Amino acid sequence: MLDSLKGPTEWNEGRHGVGPWAQEHPDEPVPDAPHLDPELLEHGDRRNVVDAYRYWRREAIVADIDTRRHPLHIAIENFEHDANIGTVVRTANAFAVDTVHIVGRKRWNRRGAMVTDRYQHLMHHESTEALIEWALAQQLTVVAIDNTPGSVPLETAELPQRCLLLFGQEGPGVTRAAQEGALMTCSIAQFGSTRSINAGVAAGIAMHAWVRQHADLDKAW
C-alpha cells in the first residue's frame, strides 16, 4: 500500500517533472502538436519549468514568454567576473524580464542560472557608456541600484514602467559611469551591520519592486 501512495513512477520520488506521456496518460494518444517536443513526450520532462510548459519545445516556451514579457530590462556590470550574474538571470526569467544585459566581460558563470538562460534574452555591452547609449536609443529610463549618498529609497521610489535597472558588482557597486548615466540611484533599506546586500539578492528585491508597481498580477502563474 505504501508503494502505491508514491505514484505510478519514480518521477514522483523527489524529482520535478513528469515521465513519458504514455506512462503518465496511458488512456490518451500521444499528442503531435507542433509546440511539443517528441523526445520529451517519449522520455519524460524533468526540466525546471512550470507545469504549463511540460513537454514543450524550448523555442515554443521562449516564443510564448515573448508575448507577455515586461518592459523591464536588467543590467549588471561584470568587470571582475561577478558570480551573481547567474542568480540575476534566473530571477529575471521568473519575472519575465525583457532582456538581461551584461556589461564588461562577456564570459560569466552560468551555474547559478540553473539553465534559465536558455529561456531568457541576453545582450552584451562592452562598456557602461555603451549600455547607457543603447538604453537611451530604446527610450528606456536607467535606474541604478546602490546604497550611495544621495540615493532615493527604493521602498518609496516610483520606478518608470519602461525601465532598465542597473546593478554593480559585489563590493565596488555601480561605476561612476552608471551613476552619471542613470536618472536616479535607488538604495535598499538595511537595518543590520553589513555594508551591502548581495548583488543577486538586491537585483531580486528591485525587480520585485517594479513588479509590484507595474505588472498585471492576474497573469502570474
Question: For residue range 28-82, what is the model confidence (pLDDT) as tens digits?
Answer: 999 999 999 999 999 999 999 999 999 999 999 999 999 999 999 999 999 887 7
CATH top-level class of 68-219: alpha beta
pLDDT tens-digit map of 145-190: 999 889 999 999 999 999 999 999 877 889 999 999 999 999 999 9
Which of 154-160's residues contact partners 24+ apart within 8 Å by CB, and which partners? Answer: 154/186, 154/187, 154/188, 154/189, 154/205, 154/206, 154/209, 155/188, 155/189, 155/209, 157/184, 157/186, 157/209, 158/213, 159/186, 159/209, 159/210, 159/213, 159/214
pLDDT tens-digit map of 187-212: 999 999 988 888 999 999 999 999 99
User: Please, which residues have CB within 8 angstroms of residue 166's CB and are 6 or more apart in sequence?
Assistant: 75, 76, 77, 128, 131, 142, 143, 144, 145, 174, 178, 182
Residues of the chain with CATH 3.40.1280.10: 68-219
